[in-house]
Chain A
Amino acid sequence: MGGRDATMVLLDENGIRCDGRKIDEPRRIMIKAGGLKNADGSAYIEFGDNKILVGVFGPRDVHPKHMSNTDTGILRVRYHMEPFSVTERKNPAPSRREIEISKVIKEALEPAVMLEKFPRTAVDVFIEVLQADGGTRCAALTAASVALADAGIPMRDMVAAIAAGKVADTIVLDVNNEEDQAGQADMPIGYMPSLKKITLLQLDGILTPEEYKKCVSVGVEGCKIVYELQKKALHNKYFGNRDD
């Protein structure tokens, strides 16, 4: 992983961060809906230097059969990092961290997806991290909700996600890899902007109650920026560039 550089300035006196961003500025985000032919729905996201591809299948038969639920459909998520996604080769077998992130993303998507319309079926979400640079779970969650919408799975709202954090005693939006390693706190937030509901909230680090509140509100504002880009990606695919 990116080594810690003790001399690196995380935040200079003008409020400019180590990669030249302002404190409330996200990295460059590009989302593309569709792209995979064989999946029912797909999305590709570039979130700073993160590159993530998501494919969705379903609703479809559940195998093994005992996993199916007669009351509702089930959601299955696999988050996986490619061996070449980080600087040193990553073992492609699912690690503890990947299993955890799969679970966290699944639980963040569940409030949005209306699986009760498809009892006895499964929706499978496959997330492949091609290149990682901090904040992959947020980027993956963002792309997964675009892919689910692309697959035509009914959703109450799209889930947009971004991390907020504390770096050099300041609350900043969208923590990158260096800031994550050397910063004081990292808080990924998943948010459904139309319904005003938070579906993912994790916190690694220590914040005072005031900082915590600030961090959540900064994150929620960030999610609204991401949400607009998700909408734009789907509009581009389905409605072209027509005005409406």
Chain B
Amino acid sequence: MDNKRKYVIPGDLVTTGPFRPEQNVILEGNKIISTTIGISEIYDDSVKVIPLTGKYLPKIDDLVIGKVISHTSLSWELDINSCYVGFLPAQDVFGRDFSAHADELTSKLKVGDLVAARIANFDRTRDPLVTISDRDLGKIDSGALVKISPSKVPRLIGKRGTMIQTIEMATNAAITIGQNGWVVVSCESPEGLLKAKKAIQMVNEKAHVANLTDQVKEMLESKGES
């Protein structure tokens, strides 16, 4: 597997042959060419490039952290750190019997509130539709917001969640990671909160370093002893 991984930049040839082009690659004749800076991965029948830079592009079923920027009488608009605004209809919060004159939207969510939401629908013709009607979704009442680069979110989660588990275990913090690069950390103890925030920033800055999990673990433990 390792020998198939390669650092690529736009225009670089990833491979040739009968592969299915997936994320961030284009098929040009029989050549598969990368369209972004990243790490290429070749599977049995498909090729993709994991990007190292770039803005967040909404994907259906992604968990995102959004900030309410405005509302009309029927819906809220959320800043989801993307080039599009998230659209949260009032029915989603008030239920089916929502009525525009009887219910006041600000009673549930005000401008500036943070929301954990899921992308319900997104296509290129409309702004992404988000929902908060699910377990663990909805308004976030407490915690600290940490902003990282969206392309480093997979690194923060780690292989099967190892990285985030390491941080959560060492600091006793509850961490909610939005795929859009916004992370909410809540922790009972102020030291734990600071440490968790520091660990997240460390992952953001050193995402390319090998065995980062060990380094983060070391950092978390060293502070714990002192």
- A-side residues, CB < 8 A to B, are 40-41, 58-61, 70, 112, 114, 117-121, 149-158, 192-195, 231, 234-235, 238-240, 242, 244
Contacts and interface: CB of A to CB of B under 8 A. Distances in A.
Nearest to A60: B83
Contact of A118 (B9, B12, B51, B83): B83
Contacts of A40: 55
A156 B151 CA distance: 20
B35 A114 contact: yes
Given A60-B83, A119-B125, A154-B36, 5 more contacts: A40-B55, A151-B53, A155-B10, A155-B35, A157-B11
Interface string B180-221: 000000000000000000000000000010000000000000
Contacts, number: 84
A92 B28 CA distance: 43
Contacts of A235: 7, 9
Contact of A150 (B13, B26, B53): B53
Contact of B208 (A150, A156, A195, A240): A240
Contact of B7 (A70, A117, A239): A239
A244 B40 CA distance: 12
B122 to A, nearest CB: 12
B91 interface: no
Interface string B1-30: 000001101111100000000001010100
Contact of B9 (A156, A193, A234): A234
Interface string B36-50: 110000000000000
